[in-house]
Amino acid sequence: MQLGFKNYILEDSTYKGGGKKIVMPDGVTVHKLSSNENPLGYSPKVKQALANTLDDLSFYPDNTDIRLREALVKDFDGVLGADNFITANSGSEIIDMISKAFLSENDEVIVSQPCFLPYTAFTRWMGAKAINVPMTEDYNYNLDGILEAITDKTKLVFLASPNNPSGNYIPLADLRKFIEKLPEHVVLVLDEVYRHFAEAEDYTSGIPFVVEGKNVIAINSFSKTYGLAGLRVGYCYAPLEISNYMRKICKPFLLSSLALEGAIAALEDVDFVNKTVALVKEEREFVLNGLHALHIKYWPTQGNFVLIDPPINDMEFTAFLEQKGIMVRPVGNFGAPGKVRISFGVREANKALLAALEVLMKTQTTTA
């Protein structure tokens, strides 16, 4: 008897992360700038909350996530209610839940590459098809092209602001114009995982559109700003009609005790969040100035990372930096062939990065 394996699941769509730290000789510091992680680690308040939870790990966690959702209400200054929020084990699982809630075989979603791989992978797992409307050469969304690509089969449109790996954002006026033209049968999934780092005057989160009841789901994560990548906590918010529908597929005891207590504590430490954001913005300016001085092409970014066009082959470039103890991320599989994404670290890491790049550029000049 033949097993009922689904062909669209058999396709290789495994997400590969930024890698574990490389091993270097004694005395050589490794700087991991490949996964957009928090360079400051995580809040001391989280560490204490986790320690306080360790004695209770033999017990089941809360049956629901209501305490975390109430903490999110406070963090969003009461603009949304607890029922507008849904939490899960990472922003990626939120994407998975959205796919399960809205997609069936032969449905379509629209993505714009380069983009986060789970948009397309999770779509395929549901037997649906991802239609790519590529970004422009300057890595901006072709919003008119996306609207033209929508059909009766289209269920979801994925946009990210700031976008990973390109760092671009969608101005408020452009996003509003796009949403107003979006057909009623389509849900916009707005990935705003990097929203804390955006400083453009016309940047917007999904809040105004969700408050207005638009078909918008905004995805967030505790992995970046809060430094809890290892705990795997994410959430989204949406109008009640959508969030209450999605909640029907939420599992009981979904979040572990450590994840719940850690995330709640992270939201309470506003000082740590502010310190993280300030550091990223300062180091972003430092690195971009350094790249400019070295004549290395990069694209404007509102995230805690930058996309560059390396002076040599992307894999050779990555290998060269690894020899210097610096980890970066080639993003050809994101839809940006030949390009490399570099996270912003602490000043020591960023100085090491620029020093290594200076050596590389001098080598290129010598051999030219």
- Residues in contact with 333: Cβ distance below 8 Å, sequence separation at least 6, in sequence order: 16, 117
Tens-digit pLDDT profile for residues 92-112: 999 999 999 999 999 999 999
pLDDT value at position 7? 77
Domain extents for the chain? Answer: 16-42+271-367, 44-268
Tens-digit pLDDT profile for residues 245-264: 999 998 888 899 999 999 99
Tokens matching residue 21 = 């730290």
- Residues in contact with 212: Cβ distance below 8 Å, sequence separation at least 6, in sequence order: none
**C-beta separation of 261 from 49 below 8 A:** yes
Q: In whole angstroms, give the CA distance from residue 198 to residue 296.
A: 23
Q: In whole angstroms, give the CA distance from residue 356 to residue 310.
A: 13
- The domain made up of 16-42+271-367 has a fold known as Aspartate Aminotransferase, domain 1 (3.90.1150)
Q: Tell the residue number behind the tokens 């109430």, with chain if given.
A: 70
Burial (Cβ within 10 Å: 0-12, 13-18, ≥19) of residue 147: middle
Tens-digit pLDDT profile for residues 140-180: 999 999 999 999 999 999 999 999 999 999 999 999 999 99
pTM, two decimals, is 0.92
Q: Look at domain 44-268 and name its CATH class.
A: alpha beta
**C-beta separation of 114 from 165 below 8 A:** yes
- In the three-class reduction of DSSP (H, G, I as helix; E, B as strand; rest coil), residue 115 is classed as coil
Cα angle 39, 45, 49 (rounded to 5 degrees) comes to 120
